[in-house]
Amino acid sequence: MKDSYNYKNSIFVKQTKRPITWVFCLVFFFILFDCPATIAKKNSGLRAITKIGMHHKYVAFSTGKSDDFEHVFDLSKMLLDDEQADLLYFRDIKQSWKEYSLTFPIYDNKRSKLDLRHLGTVKHTVDWGHFIGEKHNVYGFLRTGDWLSGGRNGTLSVYNTQAEKIASFIGHSGTITAFAYHRKWLISGDSNGLMILWDLNEIKNRNPRIKPYLYMVYSITGDWVIWCEEGIYSCSKRGKDLMQISESKNRKSALAKESSDYHEKPDLLAMKITSFNRFQRQYDIEINNKKSIFSTPSVSFLNVPRYSPERDIDLLMTICDCGGGVDSAVLYLRDASIDLDVGKRSIAVKEKSPKETCIKLNQKISLLEGKNDITLIAYNDYGIKSKPEKVTVEYNRTDYKSSKLHIATIAVSDYANKGLKLQYPVADAKAIQAAFNHLGYGSFKSVRNHQLYNENVTKEQINVFFDQISTDVGAQDVFVLFIAGHGWYSAELSQYYFLLYNANTDNIVENSLGADEFRVLLSKIPAVRSLVLVDTCQSGGFESASDTSKIVTGAQMEFVNKLGRAILMASTKEQVAYEGYKNHGAFTYIVVDALKGKADYSKDGSITVDELSTYVNTNLADLTEKKWGYHQDTKRSLSGYNFILGKY
């Protein structure tokens, strides 16, 4: 037995040593003779950003488990300067600010809900459970009191102390893993290894979609690149290819153009941080643009009276190309936008200078009683808007008895997909219509009802619906639109969608009407006194803008960003809208209650938009908390003038 065992053991050793030797030789041969480019490509991967910090023009970051910062970018020179990692102080973003703090509820193991507390008491809860961000991965306050939260799929949003979402940062696709800020700059990193620098002044400018200022990438080989969408970059010796690698890892492209069209100009790129005005001037010189990206049109009014005895006046305007072209123009009348035709039908004017060519436009407008603020803005070929030209015209004669009240209701209860069936939308629409009819009779010359329900709620019929209404509505009329049914907000597209009759869960976007499409439809309605009521889940997204720059003009984009009409929405972008209170949706019940006279805070027998908004905002959350234990927050956007809805 012993001899047999030794024999078998010796065979075993002999047979196992041979393949190990051959495998070792093959690996050694591969290392010696394999293409170096293949090895470089394998090792040029990007790791998740695990820690990030900022101090003046320095960005520090780590891609490992170390508590210390591993690398530092000097943005004033656009170079890697790791020696600064131990010399500078990089503060962490805080989860508290003054009396406010951010915490997770004890019962929420998924981290999908984030509580905003004031003096220890929960004031608001932001729920991402059904949201594309899914959970709050990193969060904290800015020095202004606004606060940020980052989650999956590139979700990075900023909220105010009322937990109202005021902006989205659009650029990441991976999970947000870290962010920090210093003064006007925010830096964020994600699981794909992409870092983005943002300009926080965009929040002050009320921009709902903030785009990247700079991109940064660092690979495990020690290569790096910093670039911007204007097409310039700074990088290590082999760092330029990282732009393409980063783009392939991020669904939302981080490249404005082909990488071959980018110019390596570290000094010019640094100028974008240190002096943006100098950067604008120097960019055109060094890149040799035939048309300047930063040269915006000049705009002016020619014959605007300060006072007008007439309701209808003609506005004569000029728009001059100052080097960047003229793509589109928009006229704001009391914050409501009017798209202007700057195409071939415009009147050409002789050149004012070798670089300036102007066009003249004539637009007839209808004034409302009191002061009418009018603003003109134009966009160059790169989508950058001009300095606004503003005037005010006063007109003091308005007779509600000569105006009409239009109530348009669109609702779906019985969807083609029976699984989407709702109980109350059509009933809610009829209740809203009845309430406004009662309010309008005796207050207006006439009351007109327009409705579209259930199987008639398709894209084709909605377009016809608005075309027909637009022929009946005058500028002096009051227009009310009510929408009820299923609603859905896409964080990835930053877009609200109203589900049409033939909607299905497999392709919601295709069988829905987006908020941008609604805005285009509403632009057909000439009434400047307009109210939009949206009673769907996630309806707070209705006022948000998506990036439609590829399909609409610059002027239409401005219209998307600011509707210029009063909007009341049943819930925030993250919330459901409850139905089932006394045979109505909770939002509809409160609106109808308000129109019966409960919103008449001034006790003058009439209901205004401001009074309706205040009543709904004050009472909806109380109703849903008492009924379902759920704090449903209404969302409102009152960018237009206050006006009377009728007398009860």
**Pair (491, 351) in one structural domain:** no
- Residue 635 in any domain: the answer is yes
CATH number of the domain that residue 542 is part of: 3.40.50.1460
Asked if the model's pLDDT at residue 488 lies above 70, the reply is: yes
pLDDT in tens, 533-574: 888 764 444 544 333 333 333 333 333 333 345 677 654 444
pLDDT of residue 606: 85
Give CA–CA dist 621/575, Å, rounded: 12
**Pair (350, 438) in one structural domain:** no
Sheet holding 156-159, edge to edge: 138-141, 147-150, 156-159, 165-169, 209-210
- Residue 292 in any domain: the answer is no
What CA–CA distances, in Å, run from 506 to 104, 316, 639? 32, 50, 36
Question: Looking at per-residue confidence, does 97 or 553 come out higher?
Answer: 97
Q: Which residues pair with 157 in a beta bridge?
A: 149, 168
**Pair (469, 320) in one structural domain:** no
Comparing C-alpha atoms, which of 516, 26, 521, 76 is closest to residue 279? 76
Question: Looking at per-residue confidence, does 271 or 603 come out higher?
Answer: 271
**Pair (208, 228) in one structural domain:** yes
**Pair (424, 536) in one structural domain:** yes
In the chain, how many H helices and how many E strands? 12, 41
**Pair (436, 305) in one structural domain:** no
> Looking at residue 434, what DSSP letter applies?
H
Residue % of the chain over a pLDDT of 70 = 75
Q: Quick one: CA dihedral 30, 36, 42, 48, positive or negative? A: positive
What CA–CA distances, in Å, run from 439 to 443, 598, 648? 7, 13, 5
pLDDT of residue 43: 42
Comparing C-alpha atoms, which of 513, 577, 535 is closest to residue 429? 535
Residue type, 556: Q
**Pair (261, 309) in one structural domain:** no
CATH number of the domain that residue 230 is part of: 2.40.128.630
pLDDT, mean of residues 35-48 = 54
Residue 224: other Cβ atoms inside 10 A? 19
pLDDT of residue 603: 85
- Chosen domain end from 371, 395, 419: 395
- Residue 43 in any domain: the answer is no
CATH number of the domain that residue 357 is part of: 2.60.40.10
> Looking at residue 595, what DSSP letter applies?
I
The token pair at 468 is 């027909």
- Residue 42 in any domain: the answer is no
- Residue 44 in any domain: the answer is no
Asked if the model's pLDDT at residue 625 lies above 90, the reply is: no
**Pair (311, 283) in one structural domain:** no
pLDDT in tens, 589-599: 888 988 998 98
Least confident of 91-100, 151-160, 191-200, 517-526: 517-526
Burial class (CB in 10 A: 0-12, 13-18, 19+), 101: middle
pLDDT of residue 7: 32
**Pair (312, 279) in one structural domain:** no
Pairing state of beta strands 635-638 and 71-74? Answer: unpaired
Give CA–CA dist 628/622, Å, rounded: 10
Give CA–CA dist 485/501, Å, rounded: 9
Asked if the model's pLDDT at residue 65 lies above 60, the reply is: yes
165 in helix, strand or coil? strand
pLDDT in tens, 191-248: 999 999 999 988 887 667 788 999 999 999 999 999 998 889 999 998 998 988 877 6
Asked if the model's pLDDT at residue 78 lies above 90, the reply is: yes
**Pair (372, 405) in one structural domain:** no
- Residue 471 in any domain: the answer is yes
- Residue 41 in any domain: the answer is no
**Pair (113, 219) in one structural domain:** yes
At 585, the pLDDT band (50, 70, 90 cuts) reads: confident
Comparing C-alpha atoms, which of 621, 641, 626 is closest to residue 125? 621
Whether the CB-CB separation of 313 and 367 falls below 8 Å is answered with yes
- Residue 577 in any domain: the answer is yes
Q: How many domains does the chain have?
A: 4
Average pLDDT, the chain: 78
Comparing C-alpha atoms, which of 583, 587, 426 is closest to residue 501? 426
Domain residues for the domain of 338 are: 298-395
Q: Quick one: CA dihedral 303, 308, 309, 311, positive or negative? A: positive
**Pair (138, 218) in one structural domain:** yes
Asked if the model's pLDDT at residue 452 lies above 70, the reply is: yes
Question: Looking at per-residue confidence, does 588 or 290 come out higher?
Answer: 588
At 59, the pLDDT band (50, 70, 90 cuts) reads: very high
pLDDT of residue 556: 33
